[in-house]
Structure 1
Amino acid sequence: MAASGLPPLPPQFKPIQHFLRTAQELEKREPVVAYYCRLYAMQTGMKTDSKNPECRKFLCKLMDHLEAMKKQLGDNEAITQEIVGCAHVENYALKMFLYADNEDRAGRFHKNMIKSFYTASLLIDVLTVFGELTDENVQHRKYARWKATYIHNCLKNGETPLSGPIGMEGEFCDDQNEEDGSPALPNQESQPSSSTYESSNVPASSYTGIHIPPGAHAPANTPAEVPHNTSVTSSTLQPTPQNIPIVDPSLYNVQPSGEIRLTPEDFARAQKYCKYAGSALQYEDVSTAVQNLQKALKLLTTGRE
């Protein structure tokens, strides 16, 4: 991959090519997510092979590119503060997941939703640059990869996929599919389309074992092309009004008790909720913002979540 001034990708780094390609596709509309995709690729490459001259040359160029991006985005809190960056990437991954999940449940199977499922799984991998994944994100990643592979194979074989979770029979990403670092998905070389997509009228959904926040919506400009034969049009779709959760009346004018002893961990968690709320507001997701602010307020005033 010679994009963005990088030398050709060494064969040893084939597993990270999809992260670099995703970064390239998101370069203009989501530079923060693109930055962390490249950071994940560099960290993975360092673990894979940092001694081979060809690999070392590639990693040095990638590191220079990351430094240039960091300088360009230097005033962005999502770059300077990891907790904000984590919330930003996680929020975008979830919204992309929801776009694909809503299309799936509506029975609209097309290349864009397949790639959105798979890209969401890649972005959850990227979250490991901030630390260990939550159980919820692990389940989202597993489901997204399985769905992407399952629907792609159905369409390839001329079969009609079944919507929603249907059992996840067997391992959807076996060793053969992961020889090149990804499931056997449609051509990943395609460039993102210029069409803009907002959330559809399909309500946000959830499936067994995984919680999806109510009121969450898909991001604009999902990264894959939408074929002309789908029911999704290229015009901007207007989102349905969000169901904003009612603020718990008990939280009004509440003052922390003198007996409350907040730990540094409590303050860190409260800060995390506030950052998540700020990230949600970037996507005009009022419901998620309110929920996280309520969590932070309850923690600070009661010492409990």
Structure 2
Amino acid sequence: MALPPQLKAIQHYLRTAQEHEKRDPVVAYYCRLYAMQTGMKLDSKTPECRKFLVKLMDQLETMKMELTDSDSITHEVVGNAHIENYALKMFLYADNEDRSGRFHKNMIKSFYTSSLLLDVLSVFGELSEENIQHRKYARWKATYIHNCLKSGETPQAGPAGYEEETYDEEYGAEGGGGPSSQSAQPQSSPHSQPGFGDPNQGSGSMGGPPYPPTNYNNINIPHGAHCPANTPAELHPPTGDVRLTPEDYTRAQKYCKYAGSALQYEDVGTAVQNLQKALKLLTTGKE
């Protein structure tokens, strides 16, 4: 069934869902859920839109039944971690390619898809400030590099020229039409933006690369392979009388992720600090 023009804004989320149908059904499910929720806000009264959204709801119900054994579907906190890890893994891949000066369609698509999946995270509640920053940066990077390659220019690696809100919301990595304006081209030095280190000095406040946010105590980029939190708490009971909640396990996992991210940039101090926080939480139940 063709997507009604009134619902054009959800087309990239539906395309991402289709691409992940077999690769990662959980990602496909939440992309469709976000598309359905967004579509309901856009237009749920026009007959063609209503018909499309009802069909999408039926598809979601079918998927939910097929994925009934998946913790990522039955437990929101696990689903949230799954989508966040996947999105930030794509972000880290694209960012590494960018900083190495390897500009190609796959890295553009990874930047853009990660921004879409960070949108999808809103089905679980409000986005963290870190994820809002990653989403803005990823969407800007996708648009900027796309425009450069299209015009035959060599993109600047890293955050040079980054200005918030300069990306095109309608940009699609596979032909959604990047902006024809120069809005995504470098316009100012990154150290004129809040939260950035001077690239000539080599770092932000933590000694890592100067892209937002530079506070690696809060950054949410996973280190290494994607591994969603899907181990039930009861499989690993803590020692003593401490009883941990699923949220405690998720927080501990995030501290470990922050530590991994810091190690990616050889920031040992931040890594140790976050590992100590995880250890304290797991052994005492308190932060």
Question: TM-score w.r.t. structure 1 length?
Answer: 0.67
- Distance in 1, matches of 2:116 and 2:139, equals 9
Alpha-carbon distance in structure 2 between the residues aligned to 1:158 and 1:95: 29
* 8 Å CA contact retained: 1:86, 1:130: yes
CA 1:292–1:37 in structure 2 vs 1: closer, same or farther (change >3 Å)? farther
Aligned to 2:49: 55
Q: Which residue, 43, 57, 63 being the options, matches 1:69?
A: 63
The reply on whether 1:271 has 2:249 as its aligned counterpart is yes
TM alignment of 1:9-48, pairs within 5 A: 9-48=3-42
Q: CA–CA distance in 2 between the matches of 1:105 and 1:148?
A: 14
Q: Which runs of 5+ in 1 are unaligned?
A: 1-6, 190-203, 221-252
Give the Cα separation in 1 of the matches to 2:24 and 2:70. 12
Residues 204-239 of structure 1: per-residue CA shift (max 9 Å, x gap): 96734244568713669xxxxxxxxxxxxxxxxxxx
For 1:72 and 1:218, how far apart are their aligned partners in 2?
A: 25
Is the alpha carbon distance of 1:206 and 1:27 closer, same or farther for their aligned partners in structure 2, counting shifts above 3 Å?
Answer: farther
Structure 2's unaligned 5+ residue stretches are: 178-207, 228-237, 265-271
Deviation at 1:269, TM superposition (A): 3.5
Amino acid aligned to 1:187: G
Change (3 A) 1:294 1:62: farther
Cα shift at 1:94: 0.5
Q: Which amino acid aligns with 2:96?
A: N
Amino acid in the other structure paired with 1:109? F
**Residues 77 and 247, structure 2, Cα contact 8 Å, conserved in 1:** no
Aligned residues: 233
Separation in structure 1 between the aligned mates of residue 174 and residue 36 of structure 2, nearest angstrom: 25
1:185–1:53 distance in 2 versus 1, CA, 3 Å = same
**2:189 aligned residue:** none
Q: Distance in 1 between matches of 2:38 and 2:220?
A: 31
Aligned partner of 1:105 in structure 2 is: 99
| Displacement of 1:298 | 1.4
Distance 1:66 1:277, change over 3 A: farther
Match 2:223 to one of 208, 216, 226:
216
Give how far 1:183 is off: 2.1
RCO higher in structure (CA 8 A, sep ≥6): 1
1:135 to 123, 129, 135: 129
**Aligned-pair Cα RMSD in Å:** 3.5
Aligned in 2, Cα 1:164/1:256: closer, same or farther, shift over 3 Å? farther
Distance 1:205 1:216 in 2: 15
Asked if the contact 1:151/1:161 (under 8 Å) is kept, the reply is: yes
Return the letter of the residue paired with 1:103: E
Whether contact under 8 Å (1:42, 1:59) holds in the other structure is: yes
1-side partners of 2:221 and 2:78: how far apart?
A: 21
Percent of aligned pairs with the same amino acid: 64
User: Is residue 39–residue 66 contact of structure 1 (8 Å, CA) maintained in 2?
Assistant: yes
**Residue matched to 2:281:** 299
Match of 1:116 in 2: 110
- Residue 162 of structure 1: how far off its partner (Å): 0.7
Structure 1: how far apart are the matches of 2:172 and 2:24?
26
Q: Deviations over 1:175-213 (max 9, x none)?
A: xx43xxx22644269xxxxxxxxxxxxxx9673424456
Equivalent residue number for residue 146 of structure 1: 140
Q: Which runs of structure 2 are paired with 1:228-247 in the superposition (5 Å)?
A: none
Query: TM-score by structure 2 length?
Result: 0.71
Contact 1:256/1:301 (<8 A) preserved: no
